């Protein structure tokens, strides 16, 4: 394909073989027609057309070019094209002009994508062009023609589409796709230059509670606040990305020790995020847990580094949250087992591997049985008995706690009804309710369904809720608890004393029972403080009309102390371990006293 434009001699000129013939009048007329046709054609097209001589001086500009340059022909013709049409790169650096290049080489060329044209009045717009040499029939270079058009709107649309495809719509942070691209690029640089690189996997603590209690709008605003603070904690050259939900992944590069830099940034993030976030006139508090992986010790590929940082994050959350952990090789074995437990728990929920054992509770004045607490047990086919603390944490982390809690509640209620039909049953059965389950949107409907389907009398069911859960005393949470009590179900605070209780806090909560955490019972007789705390809790609780239950009673001295303080109920190994249903019924369902 010939990219040159050949200038043929105008008909009727001396160079035209037909000039001077008898048909001269017709030839001159045809030349006039051709010239008019060319003007009409160039004037009709929407692209700007500039023609220069061999010196780069503009000899022609069509109407579209005049409009784009905002000048009349008299202000354009004779101007050096490099002065009238100044060019810059997308990064606003000087862009070599195509016309001098074409006049120098005789070959056509195009400007790079994103080139910016700057008019003499300072107006800028993006253009696309095609510049070609003009030669006569003998191949002599006569000049150049530059055809270009404004692509600013198109470019802005493409940039917007590209931005939307690579950034999170809510926080405007880079998304997973852009993180992967930057991570691959930075890993290549780090490998070639022996630079430091760290990946930080950040997960907000208790974020789900904000969504459940205040709504997704408040949750979204909190996420935007968190995103802004994360960006303030790092340099502009680092990457803060939203990985999904309440998870963020940060990519840090450094010429020094990457582990030291990552630890410093992680500590800064924990401190910064702990400050109250103002959302819709409310001060919201959230913490974070962070997992860290370091290149190349913890992986040489982006996917491996992110996965290992996620593994370290899980250990940080398991260790109490609001902390950061570096990845360690043994964590992979833990992650494999965690995956095994996750898969196994799904099977257990569907396949009957779970069981409930019941631990009795006794009135410490009369010695009579007052109720029982249902405790879930899991015997894994390969791993054997799995600690409830382990698999309940797995259920919470992988979204199965609602199903597990519902199974425990339904099973315990059916067992109570079966004992009643058999002629004897404890007065109440207590089941534990997790934070996620309580604050879930379907909790109340699920509870009503349990009562209806099992046929248990509501007053025979007790829900035990940890003190930490109830510390979220938003109006919505308190209203939910009151609605539960209005159903006839009683409420108990479990593990009392391990949170941040206050007298005003206790007065507001619609609970019937306070269960003193077993750690304080264990301290009775061990140190003076243990007995003082237990005595204070019993006194305060009873003064507020709450019934007091001591957990973890293991010896007679503890029992004697509790009776001296007029504690209402007790449970623990001194009385009995948790028992399978048949054994519990044979020993305690006749109202056995101790």
Q: Mean pLDDT by 10-residue block, N- to C-terminus, for the chain (594 residues)?
A: 52 40 46 63 88 95 94 93 92 92 94 91 91 92 94 84 88 93 93 91 87 82 95 94 94 90 92 90 88 93 94 84 86 74 88 92 93 94 88 85 94 94 87 86 92 96 79 69 94 75 68 89 79 88 91 93 94 94 87 42
pTM of the predicted structure, to 2 decimals = 0.55
pLDDT given at position 510? 87
315-319 LR contacts (CB < 8 Å, sep 24+): 315/291, 316/289, 316/290, 316/291, 317/203, 317/205, 317/289, 317/397, 318/393
Rounded to 5 degrees, what are φ and ψ at 477? -65, -45
Which has the closest alpha carbon to 143: 69, 56, 30?
Answer: 56
Q: Is the peptide bond prior to 477 cis by the omega test (within 30 degrees of 0)?
A: no
Q: For residue 362, what are the contacts with CB-CB under 8 A and spacing of at least 6?
A: 368, 369, 370, 569, 570, 571, 575, 593, 594
Res 34: pLDDT: 58
Cα–Cα distance between 313 and 324 in angstroms, integer? 7
Please say whether the beta carbons of 509 and 494 come within 8 A: no
pLDDT at 22 (0 to 100) = 42
Q: Which residues, other chains included, contact 394 with Cβ-Cβ below 8 Å and sequence gap of 6+?
A: 338, 341, 342, 345, 400
Identify the pLDDT of residue 468: 60
What is the rounded CA–CA span in Å between residue 333 and residue 392? 19
What contacts 470, CB < 8 A, 6 or more positions away? 477, 481, 493, 509, 511
List the chain domain ranges.
5-156, 169-328, 337-587
- In CATH terms, are 169-328 and 337-587 the same topology? no
> Got the DSSP string for 211-227?
HHHH-HHHHHHHHHHHH
* 468 vs 471: CA distance, rounded Å: 5
E strands, 31-92, are: 48-53, 58-61, 86-88
pLDDT of residue 352: 80
Domain 5-156 top-level CATH class: alpha beta
The CATH number of 169-328 is 3.30.70.270
Would you state the pLDDT for residue 299? 92
φ, ψ (nearest 5 deg) of residue 497: 105, -10
Specify the fold of 337-587.
TIM Barrel (3.20.20)
Question: What Rg value do the Cα atoms of the chain yield, rounded?
Answer: 39
78, 66, 148: which is closest to 110 by C-alpha?
A: 148
Measure CA of the first residue to CA of the last residue in the chain; give whole Å.
105
């Amino acid at each position: 394909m010939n990219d040159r434009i050949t200038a043929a001699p105008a008909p009727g000129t001396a160079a035209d073989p037909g000039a001077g013939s008898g048909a001269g009048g017709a030839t001159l007329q045809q030349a006039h027609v051709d010239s008019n046709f060319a003007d009409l054609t160039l004037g009709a097209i929407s692209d700007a057309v500039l023609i220069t001589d061999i010196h780069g001086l503009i000899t022609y500009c069509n109407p579209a070019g005049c409009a784009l340059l905002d000048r009349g022909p008299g202000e354009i013709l004779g101007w050096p094209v490099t002065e009238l049409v100044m060019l810059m790169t997308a990064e606003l650096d000087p862009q070599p002009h195509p016309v001098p290049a074409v006049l120098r080489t005789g070959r056509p060329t195009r400007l790079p994508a994103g080139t910016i044209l700057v008019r003499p009045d300072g107006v800028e717009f993006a253009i696309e062009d095609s510049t070609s040499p003009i030669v006569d029939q003998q191949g002599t270079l006569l000049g150049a023609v530059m055809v270009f058009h404004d692509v600013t709107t198109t470019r802005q649309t493409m940039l917007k589409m590209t931005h939307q495809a690579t950034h999170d719509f809510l926080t405007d942070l880079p998304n997973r796709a852009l993180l992967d691209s930057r991570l691959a690029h930075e890993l290549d640089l780090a490998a070639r230059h022996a630079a430091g690189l760290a990946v930080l996997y950040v997960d907000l603590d208790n974020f789900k509670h904000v969504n459940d209690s205040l709504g997704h709008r408040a949750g979204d605003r909190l996420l935007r606040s968190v995103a802004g603070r994360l960006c303030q904690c790092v340099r502009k050259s680092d990457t803060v990305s939203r990985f999904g939900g309440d998870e963020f992944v940060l990519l840090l590069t450094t010429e020094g020790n990457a582990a030291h830099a990552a630890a410093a940034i992680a500590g800064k993030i924990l401190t910064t995020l702990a400050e109250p976030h103002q959302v819709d006139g409310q001060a919201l508090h959230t913490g974070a847990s962070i997992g860290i992986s370091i290149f190349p010790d913890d992986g040489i590929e982006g996917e491996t580094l992110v996965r290992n940082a996620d593994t370290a994050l899980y250990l940080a959350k398991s260790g109490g949250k609001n902390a950061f952990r570096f990845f360690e090789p043994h964590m992979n074995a833990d992650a494999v087992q965690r995956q095994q437990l996750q898969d196994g728990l799904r099977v257990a929920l569907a396949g009957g591997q779970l069981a409930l054992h019941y631990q009795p509770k006794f009135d410490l004045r009369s010695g009579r049985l007052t109720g029982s607490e249902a405790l879930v047990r899991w015997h894994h086919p390969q791993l054997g008995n799995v600690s409830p603390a382990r698999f309940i944490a797995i259920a919470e982390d992988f979204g199965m706690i609602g199903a597990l809690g519902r199974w425990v509640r339904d099973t315990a209620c059916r067992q109570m009804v079966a004992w009643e039909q058999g002629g004897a049953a404890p007065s109440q059965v207590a089941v534990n309710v997790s934070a996620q389950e309580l604050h879930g949107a379907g909790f109340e409907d699920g509870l009503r369904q349990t009562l209806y389907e099992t046929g248990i009398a509501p007053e025979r069911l007790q829900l035990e809720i940890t003190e930490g859960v109830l510390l979220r005393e938003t109006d919505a949470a308190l209203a939910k608890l009151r609605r539960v009590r209005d159903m006839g179900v009683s409420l108990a605070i479990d593990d009392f004393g391990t949170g941040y209780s206050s007298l005003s806090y206790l007065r507001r909560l619609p609970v019937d029972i306070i269960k003193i955490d077993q750690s304080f019972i264990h301290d009775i007789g061990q140190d003076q403080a243990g007995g003082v705390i237990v005595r204070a809790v019993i006194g305060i609780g009873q003064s507020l009309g709450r019934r007091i239950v001591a957990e973890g009673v293991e010896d007679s001295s503890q029992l004697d102390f509790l009776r001296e303080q007029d504690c209402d109920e007790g449970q623990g190994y001194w009385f009995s371990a948790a028992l399978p249903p048949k054994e519990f019924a044979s020993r305690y369902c006749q109202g056995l006293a101790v």
